[in-house]
């Protein structure tokens, strides 16, 4: 494969995570490394607010920033997308050829030959469409997707960058909530609502205390299995007989067997541009059910955006891997790869070992990887040891941001 060179652009898309800037730092590090080893990538641009900002030519030059090693280190531990994000769904080429022509003109104007897009499932759809388009019209540009999602629901990769940190946050916070709930002798139920619309990966991590301090929720419900209110109430009653403080972890996206969301009552009715319904109130719905049908003290806690932006509590494994996969994307692009999504392959659990590869993004985009049956107990209200063995390596290791004035340092690009 020829060495192409010209300029590069990197963007971030979709919901923030605590590790998406680690991957951005990884792409920057990869480009620096390529040039150090004789490559000649010219400028590295950052697109502000993803493809949306690129269309408006809102580009920042990352070359100057990348010279400051301390800032690059701090970027790795800065949560949320430092370049800004967007939720722009690319039209089909046939539906809006002008959109693509305008994009192509921008690529040509800035001589962009490397395109890195860090995002989740919807962002991989962008990578898929864009790489197909530039190939079709003969513009040589290497288009690479780098995964990012706290949801861990991308096909083709053992896990996703950002998931390990969110899982560590969820597991830690749930274990703290369990301790908090345990202080009183009055019978009480605490419902913890965790992000996850279609896949319950993040909710499974709530059970990780089993391997650490023995503190885990009594019940765990995932969107992978139909939710039955009667079973939930009966299982909660049984748990209350064993000890007074029952904690339940639940994915926001759990549904009844007829497909309606449990939180539908408190739903906003708004859909986002990808057609996803905006959910709220799953925890509240269960709280009201417990109040009505059991009558004991009950509280619901929604971990909300905190679980995806807690830069102060990250998995060192996740951050290191997120940097490595960004770097690998740059190197793979230089080697001629395009239309690919970077991925992790797990080699072993004990000791944990993985390698980075890539796969055709067209085969990955728009698919959802769900929690497999082997990870869910027979009653559909708990997590198996096999699942915890999969999860554990991803949350291990601590890395702390630098604190200035009592608060974590944050890099603003």
User: Would you name the residues annotated as active-site residues?
Assistant: 151
Q: Is 55 in the site for its own copies (CB under 8 A)?
A: no
Q: Is 147 in the site for its own copies (CB under 8 A)?
A: no
Please choose, out of 76-84, 108-116, 124-132, 254-262, the segment that lies near its own copies by the rule CB under 8 A. 76-84
Using rule CB under 8 A, residue 218 touches its own copies: no
Distance (Å, whole) CA 95 – CA 133: 13
Contact between 77 and its own copies per CB under 8 A:
no
- Which of the ranges 59-67, 144-152, 168-176, 232-240 carries the binding residues for its own copies, by CB under 8 A? 168-176
How big is the chain, counted in residues? 413
Task: Check residue 10 for interaction with its own copies (CB under 8 A).
Answer: no
User: Per CB under 8 A, does 121 bind its own copies?
Assistant: no
- Verify binding: residue 398, its own copies, rule CB under 8 A: yes
Q: In whole angstroms, what is the distance from residue 141 CA to residue 151 CA?
A: 29
Task: Provide the minimum distance between the beta carbon of 312 and its own copies in the complex, in angstroms, as a whole number.
Answer: 5
> CB 183 → its own copies: shortest distance, Å?
4
Residues contacting its own copies: total by CB under 8 A: 63
358 burial (CB, 10 Å; 0-12 / 13-18 / 19+) is buried
Q: Shortest approach of its own copies to residue 387 CB, angstroms?
A: 14
* Binding flag, residue 400, its own copies (CB under 8 A): yes
Give the nearest distance from C-beta 16 to its own copies in angstroms: 5
158 makes contact with its own copies (CB under 8 A) = no
Q: Tell which phi-psi region holds residue 382, choosing left (phi > 0), alpha (psi between -120 and 50) or beta.
A: beta
Cβ within 8 Å of residue 296, ≥6 positions away: 186, 187, 188, 189, 240, 290
Residue choice 92, 108, 179, 243 for contact with its own copies (CB under 8 A): 179
What DSSP string describes 310-331? -TTSEEHHHHHHHHHHHHHHHH
| Interface pick for its own copies out of 8, 10, 11, 16 (rule CB under 8 A) | 16
Judge whether 298 and 287 are in contact, CB under 8 Å: yes
- Tell me the C-alpha distance between 369 and 145, whole Å: 17
User: Taking CB under 8 A as the rule, does residue 80 contact its own copies?
Assistant: yes
- Interface residue with its own copies among 3, 260, 304, 379 (CB under 8 A) is 304
- C-alpha 360/C-alpha 145 separation (Å) is 10
Binding segment (CB under 8 A) for its own copies, from list 30-38, 122-130, 250-258, 311-319: 311-319
Q: Which is nearer to its own copies, 143 or 314 (CB)?
A: 314
Which two tokens mark 24?
């951005």
Contact status: 155 vs its own copies (CB under 8 A): no
- CA separation for the pair 327, 332 (Å, rounded): 9
CB nearer its own copies, residue 79 or residue 382: 79
Of these, 129, 148, 159, 168, which contacts its own copies (CB under 8 A)?
168
* Binding-site member from 104, 158, 396, 413 for its own copies (CB under 8 A): 396
When binding is defined by CB under 8 A, the residue of 47, 171, 247, 249 that contacts its own copies is: 171
With H, G, I as helix, E, B as strand and everything else as coil, classify residue 46.
Answer: strand
Residue listed under structure tokens 């605590």: 18
Q: Which residues pair with 78 in a beta bridge?
A: none
For residue 95, the number of C-alpha atoms closer than 13 Å in the C-beta half-sphere is: 5
Instruction: Please give the angle made by the CA atoms of 247, 248 and 254, to the nearest 5 degrees.
Output: 170
Our measurement of the distance from residue 20's CA atom to the centroid of its chain's CA atoms, rounded to an integer in Å, reads 8
Our CB check for its own copies shows the closer of 84 and 339 to be 84
Q: Which one, of 82, 80, 60, 85, lies nearest residue 72 by Cα?
A: 82
User: Cβ of residue 107: shortest distance to its own copies, in angstroms?
Assistant: 22
Q: Does 118 bind its own copies (CB under 8 A)?
A: no
- Report the alpha-carbon distance of residue 80 to residue 65 in Å, rounded: 18
Query: 266: which DSSP letter?
Result: G
Residue 134's H or E segment, with its range, is: helix 121-136
Residue for token digits 């679980």?
Answer: 307
- Out of 69, 374, 378, 407, point to the residue binding its own copies (CB under 8 A): 407
- Please tell me whether residue 315 binds its own copies under the rule CB under 8 A: yes
**What residues from 335 to 394 belong to the interface with its own copies (CB under 8 A)?**
392
Q: Does 267 bind its own copies (CB under 8 A)?
A: no
Interface residues with its own copies (CB under 8 A)? Answer: 12, 16, 49, 52-53, 78-81, 84-87, 168, 171-173, 175-177, 179-185, 190, 208-209, 211-213, 215, 299, 301-306, 308-313, 315, 392, 395-398, 400, 403-410, 412
């Amino acid at each position: 494969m020829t060495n192409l060179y010209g300029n590069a652009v990197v963007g971030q898309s979709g919901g923030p995570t605590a590790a998406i800037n680690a991957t951005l730092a990884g792409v920057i590090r990869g480009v620096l490394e390529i040039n150090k080893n004789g490559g000649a990538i010219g400028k590295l641009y950052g697109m502000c607010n993803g493809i949306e900002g690129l269309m408006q030519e809102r580009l920042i030059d990352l070359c100057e920033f990348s010279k400051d090693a301390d800032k690059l280190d701090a970027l790795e531990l800065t949560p949320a997308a430092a370049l800004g994000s967007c939720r722009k769904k690319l039209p089909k080429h046939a539906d809006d050829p002008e959109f693509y022509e305008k994009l192509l003109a921008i690529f040509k104007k800035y001589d962009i030959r490397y395109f890195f897009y860090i995002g989740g499932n919807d962002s991989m759809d962008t990578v898929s469409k864009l790489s197909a388009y530039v190939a079709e019209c003969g513009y040589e540009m290497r288009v690479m997707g780098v995964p990012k999602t706290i949801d861990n629901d991308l096909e083709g990769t053992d896990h996703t960058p950002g998931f390990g940190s969110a899982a560590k946050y969820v597991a830690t916070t749930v274990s703290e909530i369990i301790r908090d709930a345990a202080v009183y002798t009055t019978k009480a139920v605490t419902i913890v609502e965790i992000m996850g619309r279609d896949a319950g990966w993040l909710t499974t991590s709530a059970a990780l205390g089993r391997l650490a301090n023995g503190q885990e929720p009594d019940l765990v419900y995932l969107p992978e299995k139909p939710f039955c209110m009667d079973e939930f109430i009966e299982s909660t009653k049984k748990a209350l007989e064993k000890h007074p403080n029952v904690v339940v972890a639940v994915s926001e996206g759990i549904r009844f067997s007829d497909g309606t969301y449990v939180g539908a009552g408190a739903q906003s009715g708004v859909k986002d541009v990808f057609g996803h319904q905006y959910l709220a109130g799953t925890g509240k719905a269960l709280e009201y059910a417990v109040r009505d049908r059991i009558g004991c003290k009950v509280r619901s806690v929604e971990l909300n955006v905190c679980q995806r932006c807690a830069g102060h509590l990250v998995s060192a494994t996740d951050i290191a891997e997120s940097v490595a996969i960004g770097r690998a994307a740059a190197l793979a692009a230089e080697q001629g790869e395009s239309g690919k999504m970077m991925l992790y392959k797990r080699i072993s659990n004990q000791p944990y070992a993985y390698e980075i590869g890539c796969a055709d993004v067209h085969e990955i985009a728009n698919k959802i990887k769900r929690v497999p049956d082997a990870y869910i107990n027979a009653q559909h209200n708990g997590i198996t040891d096999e699942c915890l063995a999969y999860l554990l390596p991803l949350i291990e290791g601590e890395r702390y941001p630098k604190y200035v004035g009592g608060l974590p340092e944050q890099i603003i690009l």
